[in-house]
Structure 1
C-alpha cells in the first residue's frame, strides 16, 4: 500500500524549502572568505534561496498542497538562512553584533512562543509586519554580502553611479531591525491576549 503521507511531504513546495536548507552550507563555505568574489557568489546563493522562500509559499497555495510539514519547515529554513549569513559576516565587522543579537533573539523568542501556542492548539497567524521584516532582512543581507562598491550602470566609471553595497545593506538592516522589534512586540501582545483568554 503506498505511503500517502510521504506523497504529501515530497511535493514541489517542500522540495524547494529543503533546497533552501541545503544551500546554507554552500553559503557558509563561501563566506569563509571575505573576498569580493566570495561575497558576490554568496549574495547570489542567498538571493536564489530568498526567491525559493516566496516561490514555495506561492506554489503551495496555488496547487492546494499546504502541509503541516511545510508550515513547520518553511519558517525554520528562513531563520537558518538569515542566521547563517549574519553570523558568518560578523568576524568581518560588516554588521553590528547587537543588531545580530536583536534579530536572532527575536526569532528564538517568537519560535518559542509559537511552540507554546501550538501545544495548546492555538494558531497565531503571522502579521504583515513580520512579512515586511523578512523582506527588509533579505534585501539588507544581500547588500551586506556584496559589501564592496559596485558600478551597477553598465560599468560606467562615474563616482555618482557607484553604489556602496555595505552602506545600502546597513540602511535596510536598520529598517529590518526596527521592524524586528516592532513585529516581535506585536506578536508578544497577540500571544498574551490569546493566552489570557
Structure 2
C-alpha cells in the first residue's frame, strides 16, 4: 500500500491522540507545567484540525485520494473529538458537560454506522454531509478548544462560553442526526419491505 501525503497527515493526527492526553495530564505529575499544559493541549487539538483541513485540500487539489485515506480520515476525526471530550468531562465532571459530550459521541457512532449501512446498499450519497453538519463541526471544534484551554480572562468567563458552545454543538448534533436519518428513512423503509 502506497501512503499518500494526505494519509500521512491523517496518521499524524492519530499519533497526536496520546500526545494530547499526556500533555493534558502533565500537571498531575509535574506541577510546574500547570501554567501551559492546557494551552498546549488546545494547541494540539487546533493542529489536528488544521491537518484535517489540509489533508482533504491536498487530496482534492492534487488528486491524491485513496481508499485507505477515505476510511482513515473520519476515524481520526472522531477519535480526536471523543478523546478531547473525555478529557474535558473528566476534568470538569458536570452533568451538563457529560450529557452534551455523550450526545456528540453517540451521534458520531450512530451516523457512522448509518453511513456504513447505506454504503453497503450503494446509497451512501443519500447521507452526504449537510450544511448543518458542517456548522456543527465548526461549533464543536471552537467549543472543545475553549474548554481544553480552561482559562478565564479578567471580565470574561471564557470556560463558561466554551460550555455554552458545547451545548449548542450538542443541539446541532441532534439536528444534523435528524437530517441524516430523514434522508436515509425512505431507503430504510424500502429495505424493510424488500424493495432493495
2-side partners of 1:101 and 1:33: how far apart? 25
- Partner of 2:54 in structure 1? 55
- Partner of 1:105 in structure 2? 106
> Which of residues 140, 143, 155 is equivalent to 2:143?
140
Matched, 1:180 2:190: no
- Partner of 1:37 in structure 2? 36
Greater shift, 131-140 or 29-38, is seen at: 29-38
Matched, 1:194 2:187: yes
Deviation at 1:89, TM superposition (A): 2.0
In the TM superposition, 1:1-197 aligns within 5 A as 6-7=1-2, 10-33=3-26, 35-93=34-92, 96-123=97-124, 124-150=127-153, 159-160=154-155, 163-197=156-190
2-side partners of 1:165 and 1:109: how far apart? 31
2-side partners of 1:113 and 1:72: how far apart? 15
Deviation at 1:50, TM superposition (A): 0.7
Instruction: Give the SS at the match of 1:115.
Output: helix
Q: Structure 1, unaligned stretches of length 5 or more?
A: 1-5, 151-158
Q: Structure 2, unaligned stretches of length 5 or more?
A: 28-33, 191-196
> Which is richer in helix?
2
1-side partners of 2:82 and 2:35: how far apart? 21
Instruction: Give the SS at the match of 1:88.
Output: helix
Normalised TM-score (structure 1): 0.85
C-alpha deviations, 1:170-192, integer Å up to 9, x for none? Answer: 23212211110000111111111
Instruction: Give the SS at the match of 1:64.
Output: coil
Size of the alignment, in residue pairs? 180
Instruction: Give the SS at the match of 2:36.
Output: helix
Greater shift, 133-142 or 113-122, is seen at: 113-122
Instruction: Give the SS at the match of 2:135.
Output: helix
Aligned Cα root-mean-square deviation (Å)? 1.7
C-alpha deviations, 1:48-93, integer Å up to 9, x for none? Answer: 0011111111111111122222221111111100100110121221
Q: Is the 8 A contact 1:147 1:164 kept in 2?
A: no
Q: Is the 8 A contact 1:136 1:176 kept in 2?
A: yes
Normalised TM-score (structure 2): 0.85
Deviation at 1:33, TM superposition (A): 4.6
Greater shift, 61-70 or 78-87, is seen at: 61-70
